[in-house]
Amino acid sequence: QGKGKIGIIGSGLIGRSWAMIFASAGYNVTMFDIKESQLTGAMADITNQLAELQKSGTLRGALTAEQQRALISVTSDMKEAVTGAFHVQECVPENEELKKKVFSEMEQYADDAAVLCSSVSYIEPSKLFAHLKRRSQFIAAHPTNPPYYCPLVEIIPSPWTEQSVVSRTRTLLEEVGQVPVTVKKEIYGFALNRMQIAIVNEAWRLVADGVMSPEDVDKVFTAGLGMRYAFCGPFEVIHLNAEGIASYLERYGSTIQRVSSTFGPPPAFTGPVYDAIVQDNDAHYPLDKLQEMRGWRDARLVALAKLKKDM
């Protein structure tokens, strides 16, 4: 017996994570996929994860793992997932044509008042929603991987999205424990990925220019910048690094501009640097151990989330 129905389209990494998040708040979730094997895998994964989270005392929400598991069902029929849902979360691969086709199908079955939401990472919603009859009901909500442990969600309305759809999406996300932020103006890659790409580009250039090893570049984050960024954003960091932002910029503004003028063009991600970075990472994190490494990462993210909550 859940609070209301939520449909999930696509049961991969992101779809199954949304299912767990919505079930943790007591919603009935129906997950659809075109691949039967993905649905079977998703349910086994969810059952396993919920049991582990319960065992470690880090399960979200007030319900038991068994009660949450019972709120989630799967179907090979999109209509069954969408009909009667007040919110539908699309999680199919990042492909413009595929997403457009899936949205056209979703709007055929959706309830009049349903919010139709995409987990899209990069593509501007106006490109994805322009062709739809019910485009005022569509919105994008881009989660942060892994969504169960990293609560940030970027909400991106299209030019046609109704204000009530924006506010209902925000309210639902807050209720289930995520942290929504709004991308007020469409831009390719939104905010999170643009910032991540700026970092990856500079990390790559530092290795390419022989300034640092890939391993040490990662330490700049894990033992340096990442320590503060888990608690303070870039503006807060510089505010605290001097007597406020004005004082920081008075001292370092011209230095920042000088350093900025030395950033190179976007890397090509090919050649000997590519080989060095791929080999270095494959040696540290063997490809057949990635699932284990993700478990290791998630356990630490849970501990960090707990620390932040208890502060």
Name the site residues for ligand NAD (rule: CB under 6 A).
9-15, 32-35, 38, 91-94, 102, 119-121, 142-143, 145
Which residue, among 145, 151, 13, 6, has the nearest Cα to 72 in the 3D structure?
Answer: 6
Which residue, among 57, 73, 71, has the nearest Cα to 24 in the 3D structure?
Answer: 71
Which residue, among 61, 65, 38, has the nearest Cα to 51 in the 3D structure?
Answer: 65
- Closer residue to ligand NAD, CB minimum distance, 148 or 204: 148
Least Cβ distance, residue 118 to ligand NAD (angstroms):
7
Least Cβ distance, residue 99 to ligand NAD (angstroms):
7
Distance of alpha carbon 5 from alpha carbon 25, whole angstroms: 12
- Closer residue to ligand NAD, CB minimum distance, 93 or 159: 93
Which residue, among 84, 91, 86, has the nearest Cα to 31 in the 3D structure?
Answer: 91
Task: Give the CB-side neighbour count of residue 33, counting CA atoms within 13 A.
Answer: 23
Least Cβ distance, residue 239 to ligand NAD (angstroms):
29
Distance of alpha carbon 104 from alpha carbon 156, whole angstroms: 19
Least Cβ distance, residue 255 to ligand NAD (angstroms):
34
Angle at the Cα of 146 (from 75 to 89), degrees rounded to 5?
A: 35
- Closer residue to ligand NAD, CB minimum distance, 63 or 178: 178
- Closer residue to ligand NAD, CB minimum distance, 195 or 223: 195
Instruction: Find the residue with minimal CB distance to ligand NAD.
Output: 12
Least Cβ distance, residue 61 to ligand NAD (angstroms):
22
Least Cβ distance, residue 137 to ligand NAD (angstroms):
19
- Closer residue to ligand NAD, CB minimum distance, 94 or 282: 94
Residue linked to tokens 């485009």: 135
- How many angstroms separate the Cα of 22 from the Cα of each of 106, 125, 234? 19, 23, 31
